[in-house]
Structures are given as C-alpha cells and as structure tokens.
Amino acid sequence: MKSKKDNTLLVITVIAVVVSAVGLVLTWNSVYTFQRIMLSGDEGYVDVSIVENAQLDFTTDMIDWGAGYIPPGDGAETLDTIVGTASTPIGHWNRASNLPDATSGGDDGSGGFIVENIGNIDVDLTLYTSKDAADFIGGNGAEFQFQLSNYEVGACPIPQQVGVVWGVYGDVVLEPGILVCNTFNHEDTGSDELKIDIRMVIPGDADIDLAGPEDRAQMIAVFSGV
C-alpha cells in the first residue's frame, strides 16, 4: 500500500517533468525566434530615375550682315549665308559675324543657324520667324527665306524631312510655324545638328534705319519629344 508520501513524491515528479518539458519548449522557441530574427535581417535599396529631357540649343544663334546700302541704279541686293551664292559686292554690306565668305567681308563663320538636339530623346521640330519679308525688310520685291540641311549627316533622316523642301530656299513662316522634321536625332555621335541658312533680297525702296534690337527678326524653334 502506497503512502501519502509516495503519492506526493509522484505528483512532484510529474510536475517537474511537465515544467522541464515546458522549459524545453520555451527554450527551443526562444532559440528559433532568435535565429529567425538574426537570419531575416534588413535590406537596403539603390534607386534611380531617368527622365526624358527634350532640349535644343542654337549653338550658332546670330547672323549679322552689319550696315549697308543699295547703290543708285541697283534694283536690289541679295544677302545669303551660303558660300558662293552671295551677290553683294564688298562695301555695299559689311558682312560681319557668322558669315562664311571672307572675300565678301565675312568672318569665315559657319553661315546660318546651327541647331543641336542636346536632350536625351528624339524630337519633332517646328520652325517660324517673328517677322516676314514685309515686316522685316519692306519695299517691293523683298524676300526673306530659309533653307534646311543636315549640318551633321543623319540629324534628320530623309524620310523624316517634312513640310518644306530641304536644300531649297522657301519663304519664312510666321507663328504657329511649320513642322519640318518628324524625328530630330539626339545621339551625340555626330548626327544631332541641323543648319538653317538665311537668304534676303533687299529692294531699293526697303525700309531704312533698321538698326535697333526691336528691328531684328527671330528664328524660333518649337519641339516636343517623339
């Protein structure tokens, strides 16, 4: 016959085993939790955003023939930024900045405006001027024209040349302008510059005293990404 003392000892032993088991579970759970925390850690990120940037630059932005006159008996004078097509004799106009033909008073500049796509995307290009021939020059038979060409081969591929006949002079266009290139390349590999040549015919009865900044004509380029 078991004594009360034995029963008490048995209960204490069972309780001790249960406590030990609970302690083992708690210990294992604590180790697992610790390992999970240590193994999960944290993470760092490197992030960068590249945005589209449509931007043009008139790298050559001034054409200046200086002061001149039309001699008596001459019906008109022609000023042209392309080498070999100028009919203006020396002395009638002092061909000054950014004009190519030194023999006619120029400075051996490129002639014409040079426009470069300095952005990181191709753009379409629309051109217009602030004044037409009547407003800028005046008189009978005045002409104010522009001509487009690739200053760097492939800047505007032939299939993308629209609106005007490239390589041929045509009358300037007022705002809102005319789309002249569907895809003006942006690659900085020798194929991202266009040239805009200018031709003017100044008649004998043209306006005089066109000397101030307010008398200038501007060539404006409008563009958007394609």
pLDDT tier at 97 (50, 70, 90 boundaries)? low
Whether the pTM exceeds 0.75: the reply is no
Place of tokens 């690739």: 150
Query: Is the pLDDT at 51 greater than 90, yes or no?
Result: no
pLDDT digits (tens, 9 = 90+) for 181-209: 999 999 877 899 999 999 888 888 887 66
What rounded mean pLDDT belongs to the chain? 74
- The arithmetic mean of pLDDT across residues 25-38, rounded, is 48
State how far the alpha carbon of 107 is from the alpha carbons of 55, 69, 88, 163, in Å.
29, 20, 15, 32
Peptide bond into 89 cis (omega under 30): no
Under 8 Å between Cβ of 129 and 174:
yes
CA–CA separation, 4 and 36 (whole Å) = 47
pLDDT of residue 209: 63
Helix H, strand E, coil C: the string for 114-163 is EEEECCCCCEEEEEEECCCHHHHCCCCCCEEEEEEEECCCCCCCHHHECC
pLDDT of residue 123: 94
pLDDT of residue 19: 38
